[in-house]
Chain A
Amino acid sequence: MSDRMTPRERVMAAAAGREVDCCPAICPTSVANLECMKSTGVSFSRSHTDGQMMADLAAAAYTQLGFDTVMPYFSVCLEASALGCQVYWGNKGIMPVITKNLLCSKEEFQYPKNFLDRPECKQLLKAIRLLRQRFGTQVAIIGKVVGPWTLAYHLYGVGNLVLDTILEPEETKAFIQALLPVSLELAKAQFEAGADLLTWADHVTADIISAEVYREFMLPVHKTAAARLQSYGPVILHTCGNVMDRLDLMAQSGFRIFHIDSRNSIRRAAEIAQGRILLAGAVNNPGTLSHGSRPQIYREVLENVQDGITFVAPECALPPQVRNVSLIELTKAAHRCQPCSRKNLSQD
């Protein structure tokens, strides 16, 4: 390929399984860091609920760090907040956390008809529209929703939810099913506002549930979500931590991309995925990006790509303390890499 692709072309071509000029560097989860907060003049605690600030901080991923994408949703709490949970929005070094769950019982939940009109949703959609206005077709915009599993434990408490998979399995499935429209409606609205891709963050990790519980409770939900969003754009399933025992199931979900954590063997993950799902990630946050040298970052990016990563990215939401120089090294390293052999990857 003679001409350099635009970042958006690169990302969308890779997502479609087409040839690309170099490896795309993407941010399916937050890459907001202290330096970018300072340079953009954005307060992190307000950057979660103010559309303009969300867009300004998200833009830095492209303008300052060199990512091929921008993504304006920096926490995992917007839907929960929109539904009534109490959230501490953090400060410049601390990510937001939910301080009070909303529900005492699963049966209390009712999907609000005006969900998309809640301020949290409106500001997120505003941020995506602002980013589309600013970057046109130059940069790929990633939207993000929290999936019904994560949303369920935000509303009801993770301990309660996990226990209920044991004690009240059918009611729990119904609860998760009832939450699906929240994620789906916000996902569709983000695509309509201008998102090119979407992160579906659902923390169905081995530290919380077994592969069998994933198969029984979540795989059908993920299949429905993937089918409903297929016509809108590629969806990136994000799950932190160790997922090796359920990756084969995730590959059956229909999601196009899986954002994988460095705790997993990427080579083994690529063998399991067999092109049914593309891999994004998996540069280690606490070690490599927080404390690693530039050569270490370069080496890890290279190894990831050789092992089967299609989209280079930090493995998960970045600790805000990670420095720009590390992230610039990550994006440069990705752009210096030729994509791995695509013989195993399916074509759209």
Chain B
Amino acid sequence: MLLKEYPLEELAKGYSGLFGAGFQVFDQNREPLFTVMGEGQEETWPSENRTLYQEGRVVGFFQTAAPSQEKLEQASGAFAIGAGAMLDCKRQKPNLSPNEDWAPALMEALLDGQKGKEEILALARQAELDESRLRATVCVELDFEINRYFNINLNLGYVSLRENLRTELLEKLRRNQYLNAQDFFAYYGDNHLVLSKSFFPETDSARIYLALDKICQSIQADLMAFPLMDAHIAYGNLYAGLEQVGQSYAEATEILSLGKIQHPEVHFYTIHNILIDNICHFLHPQIISKILLPTLAKLNREGGKDLESLLRCGEVFVDCCMDCTAAAARLYMHRNTLRTKLSKLEELTGLNFTQDFSNSLILKLLAVYARQNHIFSASSQTGGEPDV
């Protein structure tokens, strides 16, 4: 349908009356279609050029002029939204199936950050997505197990199987009981399956996060049907609208990378089960420079070769609420041996962590920081039991 077949001039007249603004609309070849003059329009008014989209394609342009910058922004924004809605609703019956062709393109646009806001909005409108909903991004990191036989790479069908599994997984997600037509998902990159989960605004965000836990657990349960695929799941923060889907995705991937350092055996990471790891990741630079690094340097200088084991004893002791019996049991060592090691650690670090809470917190942060930054050898990176 051509742009001139839409009642855009009526729309422009309406907004002209409302804002006193003038509009000039052009087709995709920049041929003028019509002009609506603003009230007492002068050549010196500020003006702005914008693009009109339909189904993600450029179908025309418009220029707005208004007596003030404020009016210009209001009039231009209102006309862009009104015309966008008109161009979308007037198209032939959309007959959109949830999450079909548009989802990968929209997801890529949101996560790459290469496309402008208006192009993204045009894609979202094409998909009939509600822009007012809150959204959190769930990232499923997939690891396909490919059996290798001895030292040779035989074609044993694993590669084609992997593609089938990717398709089946999408189908499985499409049938997930907690997902509705406002949610969309797509593969991003080689091994990330990304879901934008929507929620109604004005809802208690604490409850939304609890619901997200349950949704991710159900996705995790769905993934159990795919034994050749290992997966880790995490979600980012909740934001209003689509623009922050990329930010929420970045947060989800950050949680994944932090979680995998501490608990590689866990499949679903939340802020709750990597709380200290997350705090440690965002530590104030002064805490690192003034407290953690000097203490680690002191340990390195004087601690001998058993440093990592020593620090691990201290961490488990703190994890067990300074209960020496529980910590010794967890470390499979005698209480007296543990006490000796803890005394040595206190002496080396100067941290009175058996008696003082802030010192015990520093010790815990020290252990996590060392692990996150690979300060010691990578041989025994795993920590205590995850809190899941």
Contacts and interface: CB of A to CB of B under 8 A. Distances in A.
Is chain B a partner of chain A in the same complex? Answer: yes
B66 to A, nearest CB: 26
B199 A212 contact: no
A209 B180 contact: yes
Classify chain A: how many residues form its interface, as a range.
20 to 34
A216 B177 contact: yes
Contacts of A208: 180
Interface string B1-32: 00000110000000000000000000000000
Nearest to A265: B95
A286 B202 CA distance: 27
A264 B95 contact: yes
Nearest to B203: A159
Interface stretch (B70-78, B156-164, B207-215): B207-215
A287 interface: yes
Contact of A163 (B93, B94, B181, B207): B207
Q: Name which of A159, A216, A265 has the most chain B CB atoms within 10 A of its CB.
A: A159
Interface in A284-330: 284, 286-287, 291
A160 B199 CA distance: 10
A114 to B, nearest CB: 32
Nearest to B178: A166
Contacts of B115: none
Contact of B180 (A210, A216, A263, A287): A210
B200 interface: yes
Interface in B189-239: 199-204, 207-208, 210-211, 214-215
B180 A206 contact: yes
B265 interface: no
B97 interface: yes
B207 A242 contact: no
Contacts of B351: none
A160 B205 CA distance: 11
Given A159-B201, A210-B179, A244 B97 contact: yes
A229 to B, nearest CB: 28
B200 A159 contact: yes
A213 interface: yes
Nearest to A268: B95
B130 to A, nearest CB: 7
B238 to A, nearest CB: 12
A242 B96 contact: yes
Interface in A178-231: 205-210, 212-213, 216
A159 B199 contact: yes
Contacts of B6: 291
B148 interface: no
Contacts of B86: 291
Nearest to B93: A262
Given A206-B180, A210-B176, A159 B202 contact: yes
B279 interface: no
A16 interface: no
B182 A291 contact: no
A207 B215 CA distance: 17
A105 to B, nearest CB: 12
Contacts of B7: 291
B321 interface: no
15 contacts: A157-B203, A159-B201, A162-B200, A163-B203, A163-B208, A166-B211, A167-B214, A205-B181, A206-B181, A207-B130, A210-B179, A216-B177, A263-B93, A263-B96, A287-B89
Report the 4 A-B pairs with minimum CB-CB distance, sorted nearest first: A159-B203, A159-B200, A212-B177, A206-B181
Given A166-B211, A210-B179, 9 more contacts: A163-B211, A166-B178, A166-B214, A167-B207, A206-B98, A210-B176, A210-B177, A212-B177, A241-B181
Interface of B: 6-7, 86, 89-91, 93-98, 128, 130, 175-182, 199-204, 207-208, 210-211, 214-215
